[in-house]
């Protein structure tokens, strides 16, 4: 690895933020180079634990198996939340019937038992048309897939396999926008970027404590926690060893400082000022490891509570 190149890889969801920060950072620091790849969260952690990258983008917390792989390779890291994102449920603009959905209906579509069986809209809700249901979603290496399956099906990676999957969210946008019977999911920022081609579906989690009835994903509902269970923090993981290099340290500090306004610019939801302050504290104290180890990443513990542990 060339010492003067900062190598980042991982989540396609986090990519737009990291790419924007990398561009600004390179503009402000002549001669410094940042490369940003998209291998999905899981693929990114594989490279990271093999010591091929300096920073890993992730749309979910690092898993116990990845923690183990990094430990075996002697790779230590700091877990830094950088923004919030919501998962958008989208249909074709010509879809007139799916005006809202419950978590149970989404599960009916996506659970492993639905494979080869739930193939028509009419099977999901009585009164919906008897037409083919075509599903589009994140690939299995994606943290978005992990998060969606845990939030909707109750278990990470538990999903039907007969859907069109892609690590490239633009493929999902094209698929849903070109097919009247389609439904897909991806990060809210990609919906915001393509809202003229897609229709956003409000989701009802059945818990009035989070807000009554179906809730539409938006910057506000993701930030205030009413858009449940499909909102989450997203992360970067710099390697402790890489942070000894001044250029990597400067890049990560830039990300959590001057890079913060770019979060909103590319359609994501910034953390609170207090949360960013705590995240910067984690970086300056070089607090290694994960806040999620030994816990359910999908539990009701707030990010601020995790950061203060």
Which CATH architecture does the domain made up of 5-84+232-307 adopt? 3-Layer(aba) Sandwich (3.40)
At residue 299, the pLDDT reads 56
At residue 297, the pLDDT reads 52
The domain spans of the chain are: 5-84+232-307, 85-223
- How open is the CA angle 15-54-246, to the nearest 5 degrees? 115
- The residues, any chain, with a CB within 8 Å of residue 71's CB and separated by 6 or more, are none
pLDDT tens per residue across span 61-90? 999 999 999 999 999 999 999 999 899 999
Identical fold, 5-84+232-307 and 85-223: yes
Please say if the pLDDT value at position 296 is more than 60: no
CATH code for 85-223?
3.40.190.10
Identify the CA nearest to 255 among candidates 2, 1, 4, 6: 6
Question: Confidence class of residue 219 from pLDDT cuts 50, 70 and 90?
Answer: confident
CA 97/CA 90 separation, integer angstroms: 13
Average pLDDT along the chain? 92
More confident residue, 119 or 296: 119
Question: Confidence class of residue 142 from pLDDT cuts 50, 70 and 90?
Answer: confident
pLDDT tens per residue across span 11-45? 988 999 999 999 999 999 989 999 999 999 999 99
């Amino acid at each position: 690895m060339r010492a003067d190149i900062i190598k980042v890889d991982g989540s396609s969801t986090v990519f737009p933020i990291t790419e924007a920060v990398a561009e600004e950072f390179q503009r402000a620091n002549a001669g410094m180079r940042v490369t940003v790849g998209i291998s999905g969260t899981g693929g990114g952690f594989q490279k990271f634990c093999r010591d091929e990258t300096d920073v890993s983008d992730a749309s979910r917390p690092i898993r116990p198996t990845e923690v183990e792989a990094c430990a075996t390779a002697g790779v230590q890291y700091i877990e830094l939340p950088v923004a919030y994102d919501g998962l958008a449920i989208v249909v074709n603009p010509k879809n007139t019937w799916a005006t809202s959905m419950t978590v149970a209906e989404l599960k009916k579509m996506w659970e492993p038992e639905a494979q080869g069986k739930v193939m028509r809209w009419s099977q999901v809700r009585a009164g919906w048309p008897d037409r083919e249901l075509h599903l589009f979603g994140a690939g299995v290496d994606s943290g978005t897939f992990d998060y969606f399956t845990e939030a909707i099906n109750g278990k990470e990676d538990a999903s039907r396999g007969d859907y069109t999957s892609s690590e490239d969210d633009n493929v999902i946008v094209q698929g849903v926008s070109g097919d009247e019977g389609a439904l897909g999911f991806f990060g809210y920022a990609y919906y915001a970027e393509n809202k003229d081609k897609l229709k956003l579906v409000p989701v009802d989690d059945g818990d009035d404590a989070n807000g009554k009835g179906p809730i539409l994903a938006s910057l506000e509902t993701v930030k205030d926690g009413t858009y449940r269970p499909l909102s989450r923090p997203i992360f970067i993981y710099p390697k402790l060893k890489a942070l000894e290099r001044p250029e990597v340290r400067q890049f990560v500090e830039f990300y959590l400082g001057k890079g913060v306004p770019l979060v909103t610019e590319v359609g994501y939801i910034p953390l609170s000022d207090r949360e960013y302050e705590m995240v910067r504290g984690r970086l300056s104290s070089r607090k290694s490891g994960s806040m999620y180890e030994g816990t359910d990443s999908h539990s009701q513990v707030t990010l601020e509570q995790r950061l203060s542990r």
